[in-house]
Structure 1
Amino acid sequence: MKNKKTICSIGEILIDAYNINGEEKFEIGGASFNVAVSLKTLGNEILFFGAIGNDEYAQKMLETFASYELNTKYLKNVNNHSTIAKVILDKNNDRNFIFTKGADQNFDLDLNLIDKKIDFIHFGSATAFLNGKLEISYFKLLDYALKNNIPYSFDPNYRDNLINNSKILEEYKKKCLIFIKNATFIKFSTEEAYLLSGLNNIENSLLFFGNLNPSALICITQGKEDTLFYWKAKTYYVPIKKIANVIDTTGAGDAFVSGVIHYLLKYNFSSKSSAKEILKIIKLGNEFASKNVEYLGALTFLNYI
């Protein structure tokens, strides 16, 4: 990729724990880390801001950093166990999670360590809005982005197992809206769009977010159904490729986000971009994500592209 872009992703790196026919399998994952690795594989320079613990999984995480040639300069080692996400696959191999929170919550961002010009920042973390040091770091980086006019993307990565009472939910919504109102690119699932808009119609939800942030590219992914995007007050539907053998949808949304960010930067996305240009980018994002679901684990597909 000419003029390689420097992209920052902040949030969790964790262990996705599977039980496949009675056998436990452990894969490296975490929404923010998935995006970081995918964007690195696509040819970008990556700054991953996150924390690992001091247990047996930490070494596996470091080995993953090495295998994808990721810089560990911004990775913190903390005195805590690794975060575990127990992945539960339904009959369609769609995933849900049960979390055991750990090291990622203790990430403390030191802005003085940033010694590169950042072209883009991705905010996408299932565990960011749960108080603690990671949340403080999240808002610190948002302030840095706004002060330095750095475009950024936001994916709320809602997990009902973590946002598990009404008080936490209301705080979560308020925090998400802060990030939404200035983002360049926003990605929702249907559930997240309804939850954060307070509406139960997908096009009305897009209109709600479009009014909140008129200059943003807003996408809603719907699993097997068409992807929607909202641009310049209009809604567009983008068909997705049908996958014959879906193995695991863990990380599919992260793969989509990665593909879209990569091509937004590659094709110099701006307020002047046409819907036709964006349609091409969304299709490429969908194609990249479609490869993800054919393998177990959020990152395995990267070995085959």
Structure 2
Amino acid sequence: MSIVCIGEMLIDFVCTDKDVGLVAGANYIKKSGGAPANVAATIAKLGGATQLLGAVGKDPFGQFLIDKVAQFGVDTSGVAQLSTPTTLAFVSLAENGEREFVFNRGADELYAISRPLADVLKPNDILHLGSATALLGGELGKAYQEITDFAQTQGNTICFDPNYRIDLWQGRDAEFKSLCEAYFAKADIVKVSDEELTFLSGSQDYAEGCAYIHQYGVKMVLVTLGAAGCFISQNGENRIIPAYKISAVDTTGAGDSFIGALLYKIAELPKTEAFYADSIDECIAFAGKVSGLVCSKIGAMSALPSLQEVEAMHFEVHSSK
């Protein structure tokens, strides 16, 4: 079983000047990124099978990205290299690890699936939709919808992460919500942050917010709560799986590594009538460990741990008191 991830690959230029923002920041380091690429790299680093679909430019940045994810063991045969420059993102970090983004969009928008869908997505594969840019439209948006409709027809498990970026959707909130609702109606698993849940549902109550998403037929809703852990809603039951104590340095890629690690664990399990309910707490706890380790270092992919590193690390549960 493979996990197929579709969406942007990009370069994160991370400002190393803390608490000054992108206006005053002067020093940057180059990091590989893009939410789907981060998820795929997480899965491959842990030892799982994964394929990445997306587009980069025929430039040094594009080649760097292909080489980088391939080093993790990601199948990059579905990555196209186009004449349009590679997409770039500029990121500043505050002392608490929170971020400020500016996107310079390029080749990712022009990705189109060039092979028969049956060759790209096998019946037992998991499809992960976690692109921050695919809902903006363009050829990538068409490919996103095309493979999702095929996956739904074929019976693949579909995971959707809205990955809301305020800078990409200024003045278009209603459009973003409408697009998310269309993908909720096709997804089995939805992962959102607590801020995204409130934004999309209009409720600050986790259970109410999850009920809003469940009404579209979603089987499992995961709400990441940072240091408070993960709120899970499934089969009419709600609970919080606590996080682990970490010293946050950079939260870039935290959510991506969380869902990547979760899908890695789910891919090892048989899909039962209860939709992984018997094992999901253990899967979420594992994903929390991976995400915590990623937050303790700078960079999304460069901070990814191996399975051996996760298993060798001692973790202490974060107390909510």
What's the TM-score once normalised by structure 1's chain length? Answer: 0.92
Unaligned runs of 5+ in 2: 18-25, 310-321
Q: Of residues 4, 7, 21 in structure 2, which corresponds to 1:11?
A: 7
On the 8 A contact 2:16/2:93 being kept in 1, the answer is no
72, 78, 94: which one aligns with 2:76:
72
Q: 1:41 to 1:81 in 2, by over 3 A?
A: same
Matched to 1:253, the amino acid is G
The correspondence for 2:262, drawn from 260, 263, 269, is: 260
Report what 2:59 is aligned to.
Answer: 55
Q: Deviations over 1:56-95 (max 9, x none)?
A: 3122112213322333321111111111111121220122
2:33 aligned to which of 29, 42, 55: 29
For each residue in 1:35-65, what CA deviation from the matched residue of structure 2 results, as whole angstroms up to 9, or x when unmatched?
1111112222222110001233122112213
Residue type of the alignment partner of 2:242: P
Asked if residue 197 in structure 1 is aligned to residue 201 in structure 2, the reply is yes
Q: 139-148 or 42-51: which moved more?
A: 42-51
Q: Tell me if structure 2 keeps the 8 A contact 1:50–1:75.
A: yes
Alpha-carbon RMSD: 1.8
What are the equivalent positions in structure 2 for 1:150-169 lying under 5 Å apart? Answer: 150-165=156-171, 168-169=172-173
Give 2:20's aligned residue: none
Q: Does 1:210 align with 2:214?
A: yes
Check whether the contact 2:152–2:158 (CA below 8 A) recurs between aligned residues.
Answer: no
1:132 and 1:169 map into 2 onto residues whose CA distance is 18
CA distance in 1 between counterparts of 2:283 and 2:271 reads 9
**What corresponds to 1:295 in structure 2?**
297
Give the whole-Å Cα distance in 2 for the aligned partners of 1:303 and 1:233.
34
Amino acid at match of 2:286: L
Q: Distance in 1 between matches of 2:127 and 2:117?
A: 16
**Amino acid paired to 1:169:** D
Give the SS at the match of 1:230. Answer: strand
CA distance in 2, matches of 1:129, 1:273: 27
> 2-side partners of 1:294 and 1:55: how far apart?
31
- Measure, in 2, the Cα distance between the counterparts of 1:115 and 1:298: 29
Is contact 2:8–2:54 with CA below 8 Å preserved after alignment?
Answer: yes
How far apart are residue 274 of structure 1 and its match? Answer: 6.7
Aligned residues of 2:15 and 2:93 also touching (Cα < 8 A):
no
Where do 4+ consecutive residues of structure 1 move more than 4 Å?
A: 273-276
Q: State the partner residue of 2:230.
A: 227
SS in 2 for 1:84: strand
Letter in 1 for 2:197: A
Once the two structures are superposed, residues 135-178 of structure 1 have per-residue CA deviations (whole angstroms, 9 ceiling, x without a partner) of 0000001111011111110000000000111xx32222111111
1:115 aligns to 2:115 (yes or no): no
Alignment check: 8 A CA contact 1:38 1:255 kept: yes
Amino acid at match of 2:158: Y
TM-score, length basis structure 2: 0.87
Contact kept, 8 Å, 1:74 with 1:113, in 2: the verdict is no
Give the alignment partner of residue 133 of structure 1, picking from 130, 133, 139. 139
2: CA distance, partners of 1:152 / 1:96:
29
Q: Which string of whole-angstrom CA distances, capped at 9 and with x for unpartnered residues, describes residues 84-131 of structure 1?
A: 111121220122311111110010112416526251100000001111
Unmatched tracts of structure 1, length 5 or more:
none
Partner letter of residue 144 of structure 2?
Y
Is this contact kept in 1: 2:257–2:291, CA < 8 A?
yes
Aligned length: 297
CA distance in structure 1 between the aligned counterparts of 2:184 and 2:155, rounded to whole angstroms: 15
Judging changes above 3 Å, is the alpha-carbon distance between structure 1 residues 56 and 265 closer, same or farther for their aligned structure 2 residues?
closer
Greater mean alpha carbon deviation, residues 231-240 or residues 204-213 = 204-213
Structure 2 counterpart of 1:271, from 257, 270, 273: 273
| In 1: Cα distance, 2:5 partner to 2:204 partner | 30
State which drifts further: 114-123 or 37-46: 114-123
